[in-house]
Structure 1
């Protein structure tokens, strides 16, 4: 294990150092902005750059740590040496994952230490400013990049594909999944009153309710009017309005759920990678490739007078 640690550090030390510097600078920018933000009317530029690091850190890990890990060995054909008789592909990958994956999680924790905002009041806009969430994103990006690198066998292609798939996963999480980790709370108000929504709650949906207190759609007659409420009240279709929301006290629970989802996806991706690697899928050369390699490895015999004379006699 010590040998794998030393080898991993020697091979990836510059990438690790550059990424660690980026993570620490981003964390410092967010923390310093969060502490001193009360003096500003808007977020300083340092905090903005820190937020950009926070939003893109998982993709950076996937593109520059995970994607080249196996893809470079296959593209440059150095896996003949790396995966020798003493070190199997699975053992080699396990050592890399333990070292690089562990470092990615630690740096993710650092990136999520601040959110660039001040004040004790929580906000749903600070969702990704969590060490747990950023650690999950970093581990997910790393696992995704490793699998894509094994399948593509080309570093540049693996980097581009990792960025595309990671962005897609994050978009699906944010747009379709995150708001529904728990059933929404609903606040209903009749026409004589207004909907009561707790402070800092995340509003999911709003509309009209019928006599059975279930949502009813906006009628064609009222659609497009400047004040549809008056139209819906006059039509007797609805008896009031409603708002679906997630209370702010669920913020930490949702962050834990998102971390668990990222960790489970990453574990599944790594399991698939190890399974493919053990079976040889995606990296063992085919019979035709082995035949071409053996033919290329045979050096032509140089013709000499003695050889020519022997061939003539034969």
Structure 2
């Protein structure tokens, strides 16, 4: 393990060092922003720190994960790296443990602040949390390694990792995150407004019937700019409702998101190990093994016969 750790450092130090520096600068900017005097404002250092939080997992996936296997396959150095003493699975397990542990540690550092003067426990600062950043970092690493295994070309793997990481992050945050737990509902009769707690995340609103369940807007009222009067006069609804997630749930949601991304990372690593263990197309052909192990005999040119 010590040999693999040393080898990992030697091969990846020029991507590890800039990432460590970036993480430390981001943490410094975020923490410095929280100690500002103007409560609720965002200094420029906090803004840049938040930008790092947004892209940190993608950086890990693109520059740590994607080249890990893709470079070995592209440059055909796996003939030496995956020899008889070190199997491909052992090689990847050692590197994944070293890089994964370091990525998790840097994720903890990046998630130390939220970029605002004074701590903001709000939905807008959802990603400003150590556990969330650790999940993003591990997922980015696993995604990059898996795509690199399939692409077998470094530049292609980096580009594909960027696309799939961004797409998955956007889809999960837009479609899944708000529904980790069932939403709470505030209902109000006509001539009053549903009240939601301060800082709550509003998910949707509509009309309720006599059983206080959501009802559809009648077709005659659907095309109006303000259908409230039309719906009230039609008698199909008795009031309105608002669904929301209270701000007190943000900590639970953060740890749920951490679990989701760690689970995705585990699945991707399992698939990568399975492909690596069963060949996955990386094993050399018989002809190539024969050429690399036994040099072809040199044929001598017969001398011409002189009459």
Query: Is TM > 0.5 for Structure 1 vs Structure 2?
Result: yes
Describe the superposition over 1:134-186 as per-residue Cα deviations: whole angstroms up to 9, x where unpaired: 00000000001111111111101111111111112111210111000010101
Contact 2:27-2:111 within 8 A present in 1 as well:
yes
Q: Give the corresponding residue for 1:5.
A: 5
Q: Give the corresponding residue for 1:44.
A: 43
Q: Does 2:218 match 1:219? A: yes
Structure 2 residues not aligned, in runs of 5+: none
Contact 1:150-1:282 within 8 A present in 2 as well:
no
Q: Which ranges of 4 or more aligned residues in structure 1 deviate by more than 6 Å? A: none
With 142-151 and 117-126 compared, the bigger mean Cα shift is at 117-126
Aligned counterparts of 1:107 and 1:312: Cα–Cα separation in 2: 76
Q: How does 1:64-213 map to 2 (within 5 A)?
A: 64-120=63-119, 122-213=121-212
Contact 2:114-2:120 within 8 A present in 1 as well:
no
Aligned counterparts of 1:229 and 1:296: Cα–Cα separation in 2: 84
Aligned counterparts of 1:56 and 1:298: Cα–Cα separation in 2: 51
With 26-35 and 112-121 compared, the bigger mean Cα shift is at 112-121
Q: Give the corresponding residue for 1:58.
A: 57
Q: How does 1:235-254 map to 2 (within 5 A)?
A: 235-254=234-253
State the TM-score, normalizing by the size of structure 2: 0.93
- Alpha-carbon shift at residue 110 of structure 1 (Å): 0.7
Aligned pair count? 306
Aligned counterparts of 2:293 and 2:270: Cα–Cα separation in 1: 36
Describe the superposition over 1:27-47 as per-residue Cα deviations: whole angstroms up to 9, x where unpaired: 2112212221x4278523322
SS in structure 2 of the partner of residue 245 of structure 1: strand
Q: Give the corresponding residue for 1:255.
A: 254
State the TM-score, normalizing by the size of structure 1: 0.91
- Alpha-carbon shift at residue 231 of structure 1 (Å): 1.8
- Alpha-carbon shift at residue 212 of structure 1 (Å): 1.6
Structure 1 residues not aligned, in runs of 5+: none
Contact 1:24-1:110 within 8 A present in 2 as well:
yes
Aligned counterparts of 2:231 and 2:257: Cα–Cα separation in 1: 39
Aligned counterparts of 1:52 and 1:144: Cα–Cα separation in 2: 21
SS in structure 1 of the partner of residue 222 of structure 2: coil
Aligned counterparts of 1:266 and 1:244: Cα–Cα separation in 2: 32
- Alpha-carbon shift at residue 272 of structure 1 (Å): 1.0
RMSD of Structure 2 on Structure 1 (CA): 2.1
Aligned counterparts of 2:193 and 2:287: Cα–Cα separation in 1: 74
Describe the superposition over 1:112-153 as per-residue Cα deviations: whole angstroms up to 9, x where unpaired: 111112345521111100000000000000001111111111
Describe the superposition over 1:208-262 as per-residue Cα deviations: whole angstroms up to 9, x where unpaired: 1111211112223223434322221111111000000011111011000000010
Q: Give the corresponding residue for 1:298.
A: 296
Change (3 A) 1:299 1:242: farther
Change (3 A) 1:288 1:165: farther
